[in-house]
């Protein structure tokens, strides 16, 4: 075999005799040798060896392990898929285990048994090859599961939604997206815009729930200079800014009644007047709106205008909750793991089996947003290669151990139910208390007792 075609093995070892001995032992590989941290790192950068054998005792600390660990961590930060086999002194089991916890693949004890080390190294190469192949496959699979450019799903319920969005994108009808918090309403609205003939023009979003009632009108319709105190210069509203593009009215159920009338007029006549202005300005924009509220119920109660509803909802798209999308919680967890690990903690590689079970069985009241937040926090906090159920702040699956006693069991249930209620109420303490059938002060007390914080939007 040509030297260049051989898989690369880097030996990091400061003992020259041992270097020579090891170099001879590995005929199947292209062997590189480094005797300290700096040259080892240089070689990893330049040659990207699949497997590294690493002596933990390197100069300037040949009798300790500090240099070895620093080298281990730097290599894994540079090339997380490198398989590192560490060599420890006789009886140094503790450093060996610490190395594994830090991401080393395996360890062996000096004095070196060449045959035994040869086996470990060969298995490391095999595993590296399999993992690489897996990653390539997974990336391809990932592509297939990407819809509308940005959404990840493999669930038929969600693929159906995507197909509907793609179909209606081409026609200038108004679209209403109905879905619980965190189900991806905004992402779908953007996907719709990007799939529509208006994609070259602006996507303008306004969250009607986030803007105080008295400012919402100015925000939507704009105002002329001097229209009210503080109106120092003419300002275009969001509707006008969306000319040629798409206007996304988020949380449309929160528009106060008197403004609903004005919005309806715009939808009927397609012209607006800025506050304090007399000129009718024609605006050509595509309307997409979203809400997590039950508008039909609001219509019955008289807090949402039926005529406005029909203008906004020429097409209604119901977005399933994450729990209703079979298999998606795991798929999305993997997606977010790759994404956040790449950005923030490349050491993290996957999940423990208990974490996967917990992800699968958790009801995800805050949907994809909750999953994304938990994953981000877990990746930042994780101090091992695999994310655990605890990192995710989820209890392990059904096989989890029995609590020590009834009191502990009750506490555990209290915690879980309170967390779910908080998530469902989007951290609104009053609503959460109502859901739980207890008073607000009681909920506060319980949260204090269990050290629970509203955490969804963290
Ligand atoms: N299918 C998906 N694939 C990948 N990321 C997703 C998916 N669905 C949602 N997200 C991400 O989850 C987060 C929440 O999505 P989005 O803001 O679109 O939801 P929403 O329904 O508007 O939520 P809210 O009601 O809280 O406003 C975003 O960061 C979004 O990028
Ligand atoms: Mg939203």
Q: What residues pair up with 175 in beta bridges, in sequence order?
A: 288, 315
Best residue among 180, 369, 372 to mutate for probing ligand 1, ranked by most atoms within 8 Å of CB: 369
Beta strand 350-351 pairing with 315-318: unpaired
Give whole-number Cα distances, 237 to 3, 98, 243, 432, in Å.
67, 59, 11, 35
* CB proximity list for 334: less than 8 A, separation 6 or greater: 138
Cα of 407 vs its chain's centroid, Å: 35
* Joined tokens for residue 237: 């509203």
**Contact 182 CB / ligand 1 (< 6 Å):** yes
Q: Atom 12, ligand 1: which residue's CA is nearest?
A: 369
* CB proximity list for 65: less than 8 A, separation 6 or greater: 56, 57, 88, 92, 95
Q: Which atom of ligand 1 is nearest to the CA of 372?
A: 12
Cα(141)–Cα(154) distance, rounded to whole angstroms? Answer: 10
Q: What residues pair up with 53 in beta bridges, in sequence order?
A: 11, 85
Q: Which atom of ligand 1 is nearest to the CA of 152?
A: 3
Backbone angles phi, psi at 56, to 5 degrees: -70, -25
**pLDDT value, residue 143:** 54
Write the DSSP string, 405-423: SHHHHHHHHHHHHHHHHHH
Ligand number with the minimum distance to the CA of 369: 1
Q: Atom 8, ligand 1: which residue's CA is nearest?
A: 184
Ligand number with the minimum distance to the CA of 457: 1
Cα of 22 vs centre of ligand 1, distance in Å, is: 53
Domains 3-142 and 153-320 share a fold: yes
**Contact 367 CB / ligand 1 (< 6 Å):** no
For the chain, the straight-line distance linking the first and the last C-alpha, in angstroms and rounded, comes to 55
Q: Which atom of ligand 1 is nearest to the CA of 190?
A: 18
Q: Which atom of ligand 1 is nearest to the CA of 183?
A: 21
Best residue among 158, 368, 372, 426 to mutate for probing ligand 1, ranked by most atoms within 8 Å of CB: 368
Ligand number with the minimum distance to the CA of 187: 1
Length of the chain: 458
Cα of 1 vs centre of ligand 2, distance in Å, is: 58
**Contact 185 CB / ligand 1 (< 6 Å):** yes
Q: Let me know if domain 153-320 sits in CATH 3.40.50.300.
A: yes
Q: Atom 31, ligand 1: which residue's CA is nearest?
A: 187
Q: Which fold does the domain 402-458 belong to in CATH?
A: Arc Repressor Mutant, subunit A (1.10.10)
* CB proximity list for 317: less than 8 A, separation 6 or greater: 161, 164, 165, 175, 176, 177, 178, 188
Q: Which atom of ligand 1 is nearest to the CA of 158?
A: 1
* CB proximity list for 401: less than 8 A, separation 6 or greater: none
- What is the chain's pLDDT, residue by residue, as a tens digit (458 residues)? 555 678 999 999 999 988 888 888 888 899 999 999 999 999 999 999 999 999 998 988 888 899 999 999 999 989 988 999 998 876 677 888 888 888 898 888 888 888 888 888 988 998 888 777 767 766 655 555 777 778 999 888 899 999 899 989 998 899 999 999 999 999 999 999 999 999 999 999 999 999 998 899 999 999 999 999 889 999 999 999 999 999 999 999 999 999 999 999 999 999 999 999 999 999 999 999 999 999 999 999 999 999 999 999 999 999 999 999 988 999 999 999 999 999 999 889 899 888 888 998 899 999 999 999 999 999 998 888 899 999 999 874 444 445 556 777 777 778 888 888 887 787 888 888 888 888 888 888 888 888 787 654 33
**Contact 183 CB / ligand 1 (< 6 Å):** yes
Cα(142)–Cα(153) distance, rounded to whole angstroms? Answer: 9
**Contact 184 CB / ligand 1 (< 6 Å):** yes
Domain boundaries, the chain: 3-142, 153-320, 325-399, 402-458
Ligand number with the minimum distance to the CA of 180: 1
**pLDDT value, residue 90:** 65
Cα of 260 vs its chain's centroid, Å: 35
Ligand number with the minimum distance to the CA of 368: 1
**Contact 320 CB / ligand 1 (< 6 Å):** no
Give whole-number Cα distances, 55 to 10, 27, 64, 399, 408, in Å.
11, 20, 11, 40, 46
Q: Are 360 and 329 in contact (CB under 8 A)?
A: yes
**Contact 179 CB / ligand 1 (< 6 Å):** yes
Ligand number with the minimum distance to the CA of 190: 1
**Contact 372 CB / ligand 1 (< 6 Å):** yes
Q: Which atom of ligand 1 is nearest to the CA of 328?
A: 1
Cα(197)–Cα(169) distance, rounded to whole angstroms? Answer: 8
**pLDDT value, residue 134:** 67
**Contact 292 CB / ligand 1 (< 6 Å):** yes
Cα of 450 vs centre of ligand 1, distance in Å, is: 29
Q: Which atom of ligand 1 is nearest to the CA of 319?
A: 21
* CB proximity list for 114: less than 8 A, separation 6 or greater: 21, 22, 25
**pLDDT value, residue 397:** 42
Q: What residues pair up with 83 in beta bridges, in sequence order?
A: 51
**Contact 152 CB / ligand 1 (< 6 Å):** yes
Q: Which atom of ligand 1 is nearest to the CA of 181?
A: 25
Q: Domain 325-399 is of which CATH architecture? A: Orthogonal Bundle (1.10)
Q: Domain 3-142 is of which CATH architecture? A: 3-Layer(aba) Sandwich (3.40)
**pLDDT value, residue 436:** 87
Cα(411)–Cα(400) distance, rounded to whole angstroms? Answer: 16
Cα(130)–Cα(304) distance, rounded to whole angstroms? Answer: 58
């Amino acid at each position: 075999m040509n030297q260049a075609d051989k898989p690369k093995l880097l030996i990091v070892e400061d003992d020259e005799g041992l270097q020579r001995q090891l170099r001879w032992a590995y005929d199947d590989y292209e062997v590189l040798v480094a005797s300290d941290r700096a040259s080892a790192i240089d070689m990893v950068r330049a040659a990207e060896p699949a497997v590294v054998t690493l002596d933990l005792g390197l100069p300037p600390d040949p009798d300790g392990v500090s240099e070895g660990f620093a080298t281990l961590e730097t290599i894994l930060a540079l090339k997380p898929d490198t398989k590192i086999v560490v060599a420890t002194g006789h009886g140094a089991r503790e450093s060996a285990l610490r190395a594994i916890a830090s991401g080393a693949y395996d360890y062996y004890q000096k004095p070196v048994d060449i045959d035994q080390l040869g086996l470990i190294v060969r298995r490391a190469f095999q595993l590296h090859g399999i993992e690489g192949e897996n990653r390539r496959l997974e990336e391809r699979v990932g592509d297939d599961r990407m819809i509308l450019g940005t959404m990840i799903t493999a669930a038929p319920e969600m693929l159906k939604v995507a197909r509907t969005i793609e179909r209606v994108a081409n026609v200038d009808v108004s679209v209403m997206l109905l879905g619980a918090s965190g189900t991806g309403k905004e992402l779908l609205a953007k996907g719709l815009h990007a799939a529509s003939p208006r994609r070259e023009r602006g996507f303008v979003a306004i969250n009607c729930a986030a803007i105080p009632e008295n400012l919402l009108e100015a925000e939507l319709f704009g105002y002329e200079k001097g229209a009210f105190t503080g109106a120092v210069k003419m300002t275009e509203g969001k509707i006008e800014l969306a000319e040629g593009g798409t206007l996304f009215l988020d949380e449309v159920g929160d528009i106060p009644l008197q403004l609903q009338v004005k919005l309806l007029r715009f939808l009927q006549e397609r012209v607006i007047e800025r506050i304090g202005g007399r000129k009718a300005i024609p605006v050509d924009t595509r309307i997409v709106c979203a809400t997590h509220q039950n508008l039909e119920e609001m219509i019955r109660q008289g807090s949402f205008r039926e005529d406005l509803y029909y203008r906004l909802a020429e097409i209604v798209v119901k977005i399933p909750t994450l729990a209703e999308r079979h298999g998606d919680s795991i798929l999305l967890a993997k997606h977010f793991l790759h994404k956040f690990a790449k950005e923030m903690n490349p050491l993290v590689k996957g999940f423990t089996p208990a974490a996967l079970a917990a992800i699968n069985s958790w009801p995800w009241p805050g949907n994809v947003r909750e999953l994304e937040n938990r994953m981000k926090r877990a990746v930042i906090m994780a101090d091992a290669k695999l994310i655990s159920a605890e990192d995710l702040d989820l209890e392990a699956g059904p096989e989890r151990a029995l609590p020590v006693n009834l009191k502990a069991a009750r506490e555990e249930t209290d915690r879980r139910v309170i967390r779910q209620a908080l998530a469902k109420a989007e951290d609104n303490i009053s609503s959460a208390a109502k859901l739980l059938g207890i008073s607000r002060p009681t909920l506060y007390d319980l949260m204090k007792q269990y050290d629970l914080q509203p955490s969804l939007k963290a």
